[in-house]
Amino acid sequence: GHREVAGVGPGAGSPDSVYDTYAGVGDENSVESEGLSFTGQVDVSEHWTFKAITAWREGRTDTVIDFDNTPAPTLDIPAYYADDQFTTELQFQFNYDRIQGVFGVFYLDASAEGAFDTILGNAGIVIGTGGVVETESVALFADVNLDLTERLHLGLGIRYTEDSKTGTVFRANYLGATRSPLLGGTPRAPLLLRTDYTNDRTFDDISPRVALSYDFSDAITGYASWSSGFKSGGFDMRGDAIFTPNTVNGYEPETVDSYEVGLKGRAGPLSFSSSVFYNQYEDQQVTTQVPAVGGIASFVDNVGQSTLYGAEFEGSLFLTDNLSANFAVGYLNAEFDEFIRYNLTTMAFEDISDLVVLQNAPEWTGYFGLTWRSDVAGGELVVTPSVSYRGDFSQFEFPNPILDQEAYALVDLSLIWTAPSERWSLGLFGKNLTDEEYRVGGYNFPGALFNDSVIGYYGPPQTVTASIQVKF
């Protein structure tokens, strides 16, 4: 929501409703995206199939964010983001009596760019930041499933990836708390050049996968797997070379070793899927923003290591011919083992893993829903009440009692009636029926320069919508 309040100045406090704002930057936002895709398949023989997948996508976003949420330009961020990508994948699939699989090649040519202004009204300046990263990626992959016996199966996979990236980043202070030349503002020379570089990096990785599964019966299967994952390195398009000089060298890839065992299948009226997992991250990439003297320091760092383990269980239970229950429960333990952070004061790296947590990682999550079906007025009526639960979680790596979200539950209800011809249907949907107020994001910018801006963003309140669907 947006509300203009006459005479409201900097540091005016909070509106009466969490869905209202005192923001004065405006609400002109637009998102445009377009794309094309093509998939072709040729059955070469009884056992072999060739598939080609090609796609192109392009998008642009123009946006404004008022981080201080007051009419004054204390911390206003107009921005644009644009990207385009072209991908091609060639697959060779085979299927024999006791061996099935696929191997092929993947190619990506992509560009991501953007620019944003940090308008600091209290300092009388704007920090203009713009950058572009060009990426060319080639990957070779193979995945094979071997039937060792009628019940025992072995899955083997491997992927080789090579990413070539070119990053260009520019960041400068301009006099005047108005848009910079990067965002179409008044042309003027920089007051202070903060970042100005172009650099090239190449990253490569081999990611294997091993999975063993056993069919205890025709209805129940158990499995155990290990896989290695790779998240490419790159360049921080918000990097500030004055605060963090090492930003010009980019950041390194992130890797993960993932272990999982599970059991899934059907037992009488119960269909279920369960798993226990353990993930070990190395050179983990984390993005944080820290207020600093004369601006905001944005980091994309390889902070170190984290360990995540937990369990999940979900299923469906058919209670009667008309009534079924769906449920899910998840447990997660997530901790940083090492969190190396660049200290802006001492200009040195230090381990602060005892001060941080993994963001957006609740310990417990759950869902329970009932689905009732019945013939009504010649058609089928489906009624689904449900409740979902999400435990306490932190919005950022650094806990903040004002912004962090306590556990909450959301209650929904849907009614859908489908006509006998199945060509059209009517729907009534109630979301968040208890009108729960819960935060899904936020920002924290302490200090006089930012008027101690602490902002929370909330999920939708209670809503009721209706729909008519017609199939042609």
Decide which of 340 and 54 is more confident: 54
Number of H helices, E strands in the chain: 0, 20
User: Over the stretch 430-449, which tens digit does the pLDDT of each residue have?
Assistant: 999 999 999 999 988 877 78
User: Over the stretch 220-232, which tens digit does the pLDDT of each residue have?
Assistant: 999 999 999 999 9
CB 110 within 8 A of CB 86: yes
Average pLDDT over residues 65-74: 87
Name the percent of the chain in helix, strand, coil, to the closest 5.
Answer: 5, 65, 30
Q: CB neighbours (10 Å) of residue 315?
A: 17
Average pLDDT over residues 286-304: 76
Chain CA centroid to CA 191, Å: 36
pLDDT for position 468:
97
Q: Which long-range contacts (CB under 8 A, 24 or more apart) does 75-78 make?
A: 75/118, 75/119, 75/120, 75/121, 75/445, 75/450, 75/451, 75/453, 76/25, 76/117, 76/119, 76/121, 77/116, 77/117, 77/118, 77/119, 78/25, 78/116, 78/117, 78/119, 78/179, 78/183
Decide which of 144 and 447 is more confident: 144
- The rounded mean pLDDT for the chain is 93
In the chain, pLDDT over 90 holds for what percent of residues? 79
> d(Cα 306, Cα 339) in Å, to the nearest integer?
8
Average pLDDT over residues 264-278: 97
Strand partners, 143: 102, 157
* Residue 116 pLDDT greater than 60, yes or no: yes
User: Over the stretch 211-258, which tens digit does the pLDDT of each residue have?
Assistant: 999 999 999 999 999 999 999 999 999 999 998 888 999 999 999 999
pLDDT for position 15:
85
User: Over the stretch 83-114, which tens digit does the pLDDT of each residue have?
Assistant: 999 999 999 999 999 999 999 999 999 999 99
User: Which residue has 């100045």 as its token pair?
Assistant: 9
User: Over the stretch 13-66, which tens digit does the pLDDT of each residue have?
Assistant: 778 899 988 888 888 899 999 999 999 999 999 999 999 999 999 999 999 999
For 35-90, give the DSSP string.
EEEEEEEEE-SSSEEEEEEEEEEEEEEEEEEESS-SSS-SSEEEEEEEEEEEEEEE
